Amino acid sequence: MTRRICESLWQVGGVGMSDSSDCLVYLLDLGDLVLVDCGAGPSWPQIQLEIRSLGRDPGAIHTLLLTHAHLDHIGAAARIRAETGCRVVSHELDAEPIETGDPERTAASMYGMSLDPCTVDHVMTGADETLPFRDGELRLVHTPGHTPGSLVAVTELNGQRVLFGQDLHGPFHPAFESDKTQWRRSMQRVLALEADILCEGHYGIYRPAAAVRKFIEDLLTANP
C-alpha cells in the first residue's frame, strides 16, 4: 500500500510495496506530478497501481527526477519516458551512464539485469538549481560522493522542508566512481539544508529535523 508522508507526498515503491530490488520511490504533487526515482524496472506496473490508488494518473507524470545513475533508481526510466512523455532530469556527471545503459556504472551487472538506455531531457550542470512547477518548486543540490552525479532535492510542503536524499548512506565502490572525501563535504551541505523530513533511498523516512540531523551525523561518524 502507498504511504502518505505528508500532504502532496507519498511513497509509491520500495521493499514490501513494489519489489525487493527497488529503491524507495516517491510521488510528489506540485500541481505537476513529480516521480523521484523509479525502481529497478520490472515493478513499474505495480508502481503504476500504487499511483492510481491515490487517484492520480501515472500517464500524467510531468517530471522523473533521477537522483543518481544506479539501476535500482533508474531501471524503469526509459519505459516511463516512452509511456508518459515525461521530462527526465539528472546531473550531468551521471547522465552518460543513464543514456548509455553502462552496466558497471549503473550497477546493472551487480543486479544481474540489463538496463535500457534513457535520454536525459534536462541536465543539471552546476551545484545548485531550482525547477519550477505550477504549485511549488524543487531545489536540486549536487552531492557527489556515492556517485559523481548524485543529487538531493528539497521542497517546502505546508511549512515543512522535505529533503529527498536518496542513498545518503552510500555505499562506496570503485565501480561507482565513489569518492568518500567528496561525500563528506556533500553531507555538510545536506546538513545545512536543515530539513524537517528526510525521504531516504533505502533506510526510510525520518522526522522531525532532529532525527534527520542525527541520521546524517551518524553516517558521518560511521564513515570517517
Q: How would you classify the pairing of strands 87-91 and 122-124?
A: parallel
Residue 144: per-residue pLDDT? 98
Which residue(s) pair with 153 in the sheet? 140, 164
Q: What is the 3 state secondary structure string of 7-40?
A: CCEEEEECCCCCCCCCCCEEEEECCCEEEECCCC
How many domains are there within the chain?
1
What is the structure's pLDDT at 12?
98
What is the per-residue pLDDT for 2? 81
Q: Are 196 and 165 in contact (CB under 8 A)?
A: no
Q: What is the mean pLDDT of residues 183-212?
A: 98
pLDDT computed for residue 224 by the predictor: 87
What was the pLDDT predicted at 87?
Answer: 98
Give residue-wise pLDDT tens across range 113-163. Answer: 999 999 999 999 999 999 999 999 999 999 999 999 999 999 999 999 999
Task: Give per-residue pLDDT as tens, 65-97.
Answer: 999 999 999 999 999 999 999 999 999 999 999
Domain boundaries, position 143: 3-222
Which segments of the chain does DSSP mark as H helices, in order?
44-53, 71-74, 77-84, 92-100, 108-111, 180-192, 209-222
Cα(178)–Cα(72) distance, rounded to whole angstroms?
A: 17
CATH number, domain with residue 157:
3.60.15.10
pLDDT digits (tens, 9 = 90+) for 101-112: 999 999 999 999
| pTM for this prediction | 0.97
Question: What proportion of the chain, given as a percentage, has pLDDT over 90?
Answer: 98
Over the stretch 24-64, which tens digit does the pLDDT of each residue have? 999 999 999 999 999 999 999 999 999 999 999 999 999 99
